Structure 1
Amino acid sequence: MPVQGGILTEGVEVRETGGGRYQVEVRAASGRFFADEPEAVGGLGSGPTPYDLLGSALGACTVMTIRLYAERKGWPLEAVTVRVLHRSGGLQAKDRFAREIVLEGELAPEQRRRLLEIAERCPVHETLERGSDVITILADLPLPEGIDPRPIEHANDMAQACEE
């Protein structure tokens, strides 16, 4: 992971805290937080679960992409709320994410329809739909040059999703 002055500058780093069976600290350039499992399954319940984080990525990207598009168009979108539910299909089947989008503001039916189309084009939605390659490297120490030399800019992907 690229690090400057002890600060993570790209990606995320996740490590055990030792504070509970499943509790981990997630570090990103923008901050830190805990992820965990609920107490009912042996965790401390001190943070979102991994699937909560995946659902939050979809919800956050959806809100941000809709907001970007509405601002570009000058539409009267007052607020966007997205709720995401995850259902596991098991280790060998596809999972399902259900996304509920609430748009507030005096939007015409055509504007609402178009914002729904834009939601379908948010970068995280596209990533989940097409699937991803996951590359895993076992290392004794963090690699000084990072794992992948080509960073991906989420903001650029959102802007591209909003293009006509």
Structure 2
Amino acid sequence: MTAPASDPDVVNVSETGAGRFQVRVAVAGSSFLADEPVEAGGLGSGPNPYDLLASALGACTVMTLRLYAERKGWPLDRAEVRVLHARTGLEGRDRFAREIVLHGDLDGVQRARLMEIADRCPVHRSLERGAEIISVLAHPPMIDGPAAGGGDGHLADMQEACCD
């Protein structure tokens, strides 16, 4: 399964043949493994899908905070986010808890504003409102063209989130 190298918004996921669950994820010129832990029958060779979802929320939060602090010229030295994920079964509502640490000589107003901006990160908003998922049985080549990823993508969404 391959997508055109010219479309950085397409994520390709394919089985590696190693273990029951190990997959290779390829996106924007890089790749990594995803898997299930050994105790769940996997090889433990990478994050599981829920780890990836929580990682997306944490990464987007930190990136959005950085972008906003830079635009304002605020002394944010470093942002850290710890994401906890829980769910009460397959039909249960997912719960994500973020612990956000802001390092730097920020005042109370700046810290409060950055916490508001964290809630505006694009992945946070996607998770809050839910998403439409369209699945089709495809034959190679798979997804092609700009409609697959939505144009400017994540950076444009973060920039919009940082607008006052």
Question: Do Structure 1 and Structure 2 share a fold, with TM-score over 0.5?
Answer: yes
Counterpart of 2:95 in structure 1 is 96
Distance 1:128 1:162 in 2: 18
- 1:1-164 matches, within 5 Å, as 2-4=3-5, 9-143=8-142, 145-146=144-145, 148-149=147-148, 151-152=150-151, 153-164=153-164
Root mean square deviation, CA, Å: 1.7
* Percent of aligned positions that are identical: 57
| TM-fit CA distance, 1:26 | 0.3
- TM-score, scaled to structure 1: 0.92
Q: Indicate the SS of the match to 1:3.
A: coil
Q: Count matched residues.
A: 162
Distance 2:149 2:31 in 1: 23
Letter of the structure 2 residue corresponding to residue 117 of structure 1: E
Query: Does 1 or 2 have the higher relative contact order (CA < 8 Å, sep 6+)?
Result: 2
Distance 1:38 1:2 in 2: 28
Q: Indicate the SS of the match to 2:147.
A: coil
| TM-fit CA distance, 1:43 | 0.3
Structure 2 unmatched ranges of 5 or more: none
Q: Which moved more, 1:7-16 or 1:146-155?
A: 146-155
Structure 1 unmatched ranges of 5 or more: none
Letter of the structure 1 residue corresponding to residue 24 of structure 2: E
| TM-fit CA distance, 1:11 | 1.7
Deviations 1:70-112 (A, max 9, x none): 0011011000000101102222121101110000001000100
Letter of the structure 2 residue corresponding to residue 51 of structure 1: Y
Distance 1:102 1:60 in 2: 13
Distance 2:31 2:148 in 1: 23
